[in-house]
């Protein structure tokens, strides 16, 4: 029987576990505080940010919700980030990506104080991750490590194949899988749009992470018998025309009844026939991305106040 990995349940247990650390911080007089900054009128981004806000409320993290007009000058965003960097009551800063074209995402990510960079996207944090000394593991790949572990799959010595080389998922995922650490020690291949004979590579995977942002590009023929299949894609496919409206790798669990449906990068039905364990879309990776953001915010608060919080 193929195990369907329940991301909602694993995310709930992560949130439950965070309560000990949040209580510890409260005893020391600190409420973890996350500032989300949205400079976009994209409905999907708006949904993602509002879900992150309500997650914070649920676990007792204070959430500051900052909206910037997408037409505003880039300086408005940089000034906001500077203010949040200087504000000692703010522990984590998340600028929702993508930002408008007239704003450099690279520059924005570098402007965030790396100690408050709960996405783990600042070059200092990327460098630390690669060096095996992660301060904040990026939320999606960290959540995937937890999902793989929850399915009772040991990554050590396994063949892992990551499809996609984004800065947000593919690259950090591969880095975590090769670390000499729990959840790592896998022999890891990264595939991308220029990979030749992709199916041959994916069929060699004991652990297959699909994060290319292409609807249902991985079908059952591309999956090895018994593989663990992690589907990171969240693609909005127009239900009337079956055309893709674009794709993101984010924590989208809403919006399914608005003229489109969400499909992953994996053709679930055929892949399920081959996989030993597989994540659904929605309800797989998405909730984990959000849970690990809460985790990083709590961790950040502990680090900033020199409190050794109890996080597993």
CB-based contact 37:96 (threshold 8 Å): yes
CA separation for the pair 244, 260 (Å, rounded)? 9
Smallest distance, Å, CB 211 to ligand GUN?
Answer: 11
Q: Establish whether 96 is a catalytic residue.
A: yes
Residue 202 or residue 251: which is nearer to ligand GUN going by CB? Answer: 251
Cβ proximity to ligand GUN: between 101 and 306 the closer is 101
- State in angstroms the smallest separation of the CB of 212 from ligand GUN: 15
Using CB under 6 A, list all residues that contact ligand GUN. 94-97, 119, 139, 168, 248-250, 289
Taking each helix axis from N to C end, the angle separating 170-178 and 139-150, rounded to the nearest 10 degrees, works out to 50
CA 253-258-262 angle, to 5 degrees, is: 45
Task: Report the residue number, 118 or 223, with the smaller CB distance to ligand GUN.
Answer: 118
Whether the Cβ atoms of residue 26 and residue 75 lie closer than 8 Å to each other = no
- At its nearest, how many Å lie between ligand GUN and the CB of residue 8? 18
190-196: which pairs have CB atoms within 8 A and are 24 or more residues apart?
190/161, 190/162, 190/165, 191/161, 191/162, 191/163, 191/164, 192/163, 192/164, 192/165
119 flagged as catalytic: yes
137 tagged catalytic:
no
Query: How does DSSP assign 30-70, residue by residue?
Result: ---EEEEEE----HHHHHHHHHHHHHHHHHT-EEEEEE--T
Contact between residue 218 and residue 196 where contact means Cβ atoms under 8 Å apart:
no
Taking the complex as a whole, the smallest distance from the CB of residue 65 to ligand GUN amounts, in Å, to 14
Which residue, 96 or 179, is less far from ligand GUN as judged by CB? 96
Q: Which is nearer to ligand GUN, 215 or 276 (CB)?
A: 215
Q: What is the DSSP letter of 189?
A: E
Residue of 119, 231, 252, 265 marked active site? 119
Q: State in angstroms the smallest separation of the CB of 96 from ligand GUN.
A: 5
Residue nearest ligand GUN (C-beta atom):
97
Which among 24, 52, 201, 272 is annotated as catalytic?
A: 52
Q: Which of 24, 96, 179, 248 is catalytic?
A: 96
Catalytic residue list: 52, 96, 119
């Amino acid at each position: 029987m193929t195990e369907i990995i329940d991301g909602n349940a694993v995310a709930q247990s992560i949130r439950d576990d965070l309560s000990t650390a949040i209580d510890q911080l409260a005893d020391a007089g600190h409420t973890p505080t996350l500032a989300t900054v949205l400079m976009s009128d994209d409905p999907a981004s708006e949904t993602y940010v509002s879900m992150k806000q309500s997650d914070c409320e649920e676990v007792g993290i204070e959430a500051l919700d900052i909206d910037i007009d997408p037409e505003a000058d880039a300086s408005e965003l940089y000034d906001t980030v500077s203010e949040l960097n200087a504000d000692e009551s703010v522990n984590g800063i998340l600028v929702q990506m993508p930002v408008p074209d007239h704003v450099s995402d690279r520059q924005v990510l570098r402007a965030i104080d790396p100690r408050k960079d709960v996405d783990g996207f600042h070059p200092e944090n990327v460098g630390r991750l690669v060096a095996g000394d992660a301060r904040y593991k990026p939320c999606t790949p960290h959540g995937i490590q937890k999902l793989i572990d929850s399915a009772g799959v040991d990554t050590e010595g396994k063949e892992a194949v990551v499809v996609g080389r984004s800065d947000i998922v593919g690259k950090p995922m591969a880095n975590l899988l090769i670390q000499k650490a729990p959840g790592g020690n896998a022999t890891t291949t990264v595939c991308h749009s220029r990979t030749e004979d992709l199916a041959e590579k994916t069929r060699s995977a004991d652990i297959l992470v699909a994060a290319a942002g292409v609807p249902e590009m991985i079908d059952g023929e591309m999956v090895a018998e018994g593989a663990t299949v992690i589907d990171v894609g969240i693609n909005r496919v127009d239900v009337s025309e079956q055309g893709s409206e674009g794709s993101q790798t984010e924590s989208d669990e809403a919006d399914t009844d608005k003229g489109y449906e969400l499909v992953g990068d994996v053709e679930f039905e055929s892949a399920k026939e081959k996989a030993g364990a597989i994540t659904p879309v929605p309800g797989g990776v998405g909730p984990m991305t959000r849970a690990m953001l809460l985790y990083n915010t709590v961790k950040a608060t502990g680090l900033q106040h020199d409190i050794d919080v109890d996080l597993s």
